[in-house]
Structure 1
Amino acid sequence: MARLRTRLALLGSAAALTAVQLTGAQSVAAAGSSQWVALGDSYTAGVIRAAGDVFEYPRDGCERTDRSYPQVVDRDLGGLFDLTNVSCGAATIENVTDTPQNPIGRHLPPLSEDPDYPFPAVPPQSEAVGADTDVITVGVGGNTLGFAGILTTCAQLGGESNGEGTPCKDALGSGIQARLNKVSADYDRMLAVLHERAPKATILAVGYPTIVPEDASKCTYGDLTKFGTITQGDLAWLRTDALEPLNKAIEKSAGTQDSARFVDLYASSRTHSACDDNKWVEGFVTLPDQLSFVHPNALGHRNAADHVEEAMLNTLS
């Protein structure tokens, strides 16, 4: 239903501009497209094959794909917003703020060797933002939390425990709050830097979708198309103590900045986790042989695009 409402709102941008939002939107149209910069990590960039093809050549290792939500939004709203997409797989919050990044592409040995690796460093993503930027979308925080490393550790410990108990929670649980505290501090600093670089811009802080279902028993132990050997107890812990608090930390940071707005993807994707039949997030592997390592597929990016589009259109009114 949300997608339908968004699509109806987009049917003919010129018609939309001359209807309800006549005054504000026409003035934007008269001045030209709003300048939009997309920042973020792999949940923004796309990265996996289930989120489309890498469209930039020569590749820079950031793995931006053509069905990732910035590109979907650009196709839907291209007449209203002029996109600069510098999102990059594996980016931390600091890589957005002020730290150059060495992209990894698809170089994940021994499972995946990237023929173009190593890639030259890319500059901090905030350098793409300037005084003329009108809208910034940013989806980042998971790598600062260390989510990929947590998943790897949980799978290893779950395999050793034969699926019993909460070995990952037992090993890592006491350190999760410190990780979340760093996310909050880094995110606050990032928003301040973005606002300083683009004082007139609206910053849309995009959260993360549902990854683990409320009922972790949906996640069959040992199934690599889900979470492999992570125990169901550890999956429940990841959801309640790491992933949901990550979204809350991002939302709280956005709430402290007058120019920032939080875009929630969690509620709309609640029944589309990596363990649901109609999944919007892939598990460790996408059949027959694609390493996806728990990233949104094209359906997940379409859902993200719907919510981001709505928030972006609100900036025109």
Structure 2
Amino acid sequence: MDSVTDIITVGVGESTLGFADLLTKCLQLGGESEGTGTPCKEAEGADIPARLKKVRQDYDRMLTVLNERATKAKILTVGYPTVIPKDTSKCGYGDFAKFGTITQGDLAWLRSGVLEPLNKAIEDSTAAQETASFVDLYPSSQDHSVCDDTKWVEGFYSFPSGQDPQISLVRPNALGHRNAAGLVEDAMLNALDMS
């Protein structure tokens, strides 16, 4: 990365937020509550604003450094896809191909109180940089969550045909990667056309 770099793509933020640890905690608390209420939101909700603030601060610093090191580059920040559907009843409590023992209430909170604000924090940080653009995966993946029939994100476990279950820990599958790659490619071509 230097003064001749044309394009930089960045897809980070979930680790700073601690989303994987949060899912694990929600899984445990949902099991203890036997699927009722919002035990994870009650235990962890107060910390989310500070975590989101840290994501925003880290993004701001990272984008500033990228601009300093690659002065002519267009920066594309890539958001996160839809992981949890609006209708959390699709997710079936106890189904580890989806979200296991996370309660429906906590799934709704994770969607609207954690993941959507995470995307917003990344988008807002990106908007503050003149040379950066946000690639929004969320709208195109609305009907392809972990709990949808044609999912682009795997749940806690995936069950490949003819194979033993595999731990996937809520990660995009091949269809999800294909969707992201197409949107990033379009954004790259658009950024290069504008330079």
The TM-score bracket by the shorter chain reads: over 0.9
CA offsets per residue over residues 170-193 of structure 1, 9 Å max, x none?
000111000000000000000000
Classify the secondary structure of the residue corresponding to 1:235: helix
The answer to whether the aligner puts 1:200 opposite 2:76 as a matched pair is no
TM-score between both structures, scaled by the size of structure 2 = 0.96
Structure 1 position 187 matched with structure 2 position 59: yes
Check if 1:296 corresponds to 2:148: no
Counterparts of 1:193 and 1:215 in 2: how far apart (Å)? 40
Unaligned runs of 5+ in 1: 1-128
Counterpart of 1:18 in structure 2 is: none
Matched residue SS, 1:262: strand
SS of the aligned residue for 1:173 comes to helix
Q: Which amino acid aligns with 2:181?
A: A
For 1:233-272, what aligned pairs fall within 5 Å after superposition?
233-272=105-144
Distance 2:99 2:142 in 1: 17
Amino acid at match of 1:155: L
Letter of the 1:173 partner, please give it: G
Note if 1:230 corresponds to 2:102. Answer: yes
Alpha-carbon distance in 1 for matches of 2:44, 2:176: 29
Secondary structure of 1:204's counterpart equals: strand
The residue aligned with 1:277 is 149
Q: Which amino acid aligns with 1:297?
A: N
- Residue 313 of structure 1 corresponds to 189
Distance 2:124 2:64 in 1: 14
Question: 1:315 Cα deviation (Å)?
Answer: 2.0
1:217-268 per-position Cα deviation (integer Å, ceiling 9, x unaligned): 1100000000001001000000000000000000000000000000000000
Equivalent residue runs for 1:139-178 within 5 Å: 139-178=11-50
How far apart are the structure 2 equivalents of 1:281 and 1:138?
19
1:18-69 CA distance string (max 9 Å, x none): xxxxxxxxxxxxxxxxxxxxxxxxxxxxxxxxxxxxxxxxxxxxxxxxxxxx
Provide the secondary structure at the position in 2 that maps to 1:282.
coil
Name the CA distance, whole Å, in 2 between partners of 1:192 and 1:171. Answer: 34
Note the 1:60-209 alignment, pairs <5 A.
Answer: 129-209=1-81
The 3-state SS of whatever aligns with 1:136 is: strand
Higher RCO (CA < 8 A, seq sep 6+): 2
Q: Counterparts of 1:196 and 1:311 in 2: how far apart (Å)? A: 22
Deviation sequence 1:112-152 (CA, Å, 0-9, x none): xxxxxxxxxxxxxxxxx222211000000000000000000
SS at structure 2 position matched to 1:148:
helix
Deviation at 1:316, TM superposition (A): 2.4
Letter in 2 for 1:264: D
Looking at structure 1, the residues matched to 29 and 76 of structure 2 have their Cα atoms a distance apart, in angstroms, of 37
Q: Which residue of 2 aligns with 1:70?
A: none
The AA in structure 2 aligned to 1:232 is Q
> 1:207, CA displacement in angstroms?
0.3
1:178 match: secondary structure: helix
Query: Aligned-residue CA RMSD in angstroms?
Result: 0.6
